């Protein structure tokens, strides 16, 4: 009887492991790329990573933006006007092995940040599933999600996620902690299930 119980226990554990692996799409084919300034988008990216697995990569620039808020606003405005694409320091090897790519960023000037435009222009994402996520100062996503559709015409783009983060203009920086982080974790899990990345 003890041996039988042990065998049933082993089978049960094996079935449980298989179920856990099937609860998420193939985690080895998931890439999470994000741009962050006040670390709110980074935290959202980490929450997604915790729930889906995959590869987590932060976009970094060869020439980082200035720390001063007004200076970066002015610089980004000029980059948007001229369609300038800043050079990335981040290199992603074998991007072809990823089927699903999460793209995370803050809203800058109600647009998709120039570094994210650089990423989408630099890498071939044809045929991949693209999933945007965003933090903003309360003004929403602006034209950012539409820009992703424009730049990724040969991709399958799923419904994105957006949450209010900091408000750097007013000196409110990192807010994704405590109750706010718990709220984000619940919302993100619901969103991932809705778009079919996590099973219900």
Q: Which 3-state string (H, E, C) describes 153-200?
A: CCCEECCCEEEECCEHHHCECCCCCHHHHHHHHHHHHHHHHHCCCECC
For residue 167, give its domain range. 25-194
* Residue 160 counted as domain residue: yes
* Residue 139 counted as domain residue: yes
Distance CA 186, CA 164 (A): 15
| Residue that the structure tokens 């040969």 belong to | 154
φ, ψ at 105 (rounded to 5°): -165, 160
* Residue 129 counted as domain residue: yes
Q: Is 132 helix (H, G, I), strand (E, B) or coil?
A: strand
* Residue 17 counted as domain residue: no
* Residue 125 counted as domain residue: yes
* Residue 3 counted as domain residue: no
Beta carbons within 8 Å of 2's beta carbon, 6+ residues apart? none
How many domains does the structure of the chain reveal? 1
- The answer to whether 88 and 123 are in contact (CB under 8 A) is no
* Residue 138 counted as domain residue: yes
C-alpha torsion 79→80→85→86, nearest 10 = 40
Distance CA 17, CA 13 (A): 6
CATH code where residue 129 lies: 3.40.50.360
* Residue 82 counted as domain residue: yes
Neighbouring-strand partners of residue 100: 30, 129
> Tens-digit pLDDT profile for the chain (200 aa)?
333 333 334 444 444 444 444 577 788 899 999 999 999 999 999 999 999 999 999 999 999 999 999 999 999 999 999 999 999 999 999 999 999 999 999 999 999 999 999 999 999 999 999 999 999 999 999 999 999 999 999 999 999 999 999 999 999 999 999 999 999 999 999 999 999 999 86
């Amino acid at each position: 009887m003890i041996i039988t119980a042990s065998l049933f226990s082993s089978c049960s554990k094996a079935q449980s492991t298989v179920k856990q692996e099937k609860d998420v799409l193939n985690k080895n084919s998931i890439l999470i790329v994000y741009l962050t300034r006040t670390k709110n988008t980074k935290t959202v990216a980490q929450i997604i990573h915790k729930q889906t697995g995959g590869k987590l990569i932060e976009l970094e620039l060869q020439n980082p933006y200035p720390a001063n808020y007004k200076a970066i606003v002015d610089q980004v405005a000029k980059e948007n006007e001229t369609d300038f694409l800043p050079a990335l320091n981040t290199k992603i090897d074998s991007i072809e092995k990823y089927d699903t790519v999460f793209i995370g960023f803050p809203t800058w000037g109600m647009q998709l940040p120039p570094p994210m435009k650089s990423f989408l222009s630099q890498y071939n994402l044809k045929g991949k599933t693209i999933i945007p996520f965003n933090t903003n100062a309360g003004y929403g996503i602006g034209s950012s999600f539409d820009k992703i559709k424009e730049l990724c015409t040969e991709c399958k783009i799923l419904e994105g996620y957006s949450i209010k983060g900091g408000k750097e203009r007013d000196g409110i920086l990192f807010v994704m902690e405590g109750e706010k982080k718990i709220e984000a974790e619940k919302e993100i899990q619901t969103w991932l299930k809705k778009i079919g990345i996590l099973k219900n």
